[in-house]
Amino acid sequence: MQLDIRLPIGLMFLLLGLVLAVFGLVGDKSQYKSSLGINVNLWWGLVMLGFGLVMFLLGRRGSATARLTEDSPEGVKLEEKEAERAAES
C-alpha cells in the first residue's frame, strides 16, 4: 500500500547513472588525467544505472514498505499496550 523504498532508490540511481554515463560519453576527455586515465564517469555511471534498474524492477513488487500502524500487527499491539499503561496510571 505504501511507497516501496526500492522505487525512489532505483529511480534516483537510474537518473544519476544516466547523467554520469552521458557526460562520460560526450564530455571533455582531458579531465580523466586526474582519474589515472580511466573514464570513471562512463564506467561508474553504467554500474549505477544497472543498480538503479535492478532496484527499480524489484521495487515494482511493492513488498519493501512501511505500513500504517493499523495495518501492522505489532503496531496495533503497541498501541493497545500503551492504552493499558495509560489507564493504569
Partner 1 sequence: MNLTFVDWTIMVIYFAFVLGIGVALKRYMKTSTDFFLSGRSIPAWITGLAFISANLGAQEVIGMGASGAKYGIATSHFYWIGAIPAMVFVGIFMMPFYYGSRARSVPEYLKLRFDEKTRGLNAISFAVMTIFSSGISLYAMGLLLNVLLGWSFSFSILMAAVIVLIYVFMGGLTSAIYNEVLQFFLIVFGFAPLVFLGLRDAGGWAGLQTRLTDVATANGYGSGAWTHSWQYMGAPTSNPMGVEWFGLAMGLGFVLSFGYWCTDFLVVQRAMAAKSMSAARRTPLIAAVPKMFFPFLVILPGMIAIALTYKAGGSGFSLPKKLDGTFNYDLAIPMMLGHYFPSGMLGVGLTALMASFMSGMAGNVTAFNTVWTYDIYQSYIKRGASDEHYLWMGRMATVFGIAVSVAAAYVATRFNNIMDMLQLIFAFVNAPLFATFLLGMFWKRTTGHGAFFGLVAGTVAASIHHGLTLPAGAVAGIKGGWFAVQHIYPSEMAQNFWTAIFAWTSCFVVTILISLVTRARKESELVGLVYSLTERPKDDERRWFQRPATLAVLVLLAAVILNIIFW
Question: Under the rule (CB under 8 A), what is the footprint of partner 1?
Answer: 2-3, 5, 8-9, 11-13, 15-16, 19-20, 23-24, 27, 31-32, 34-36, 38, 40-41, 44-45, 47-48, 51, 63-64, 66-75, 77-79, 81-82, 86, 89
Minimum separation from the CB atom of position 79 to partner 1 (A): 6
**Cα 28 to Cα 81: distance, rounded to the nearest angstrom:** 63
Q: What's the start-to-end Cα distance of the chain, in Å?
A: 36
* Spatial contact of 61 and 4, defined as CB atoms under 8 Å apart: yes
- From the CB of 57, what's the least distance to partner 1, in Å? 16
Q: Rounded CA gap, 17 and 43, in Å?
A: 9
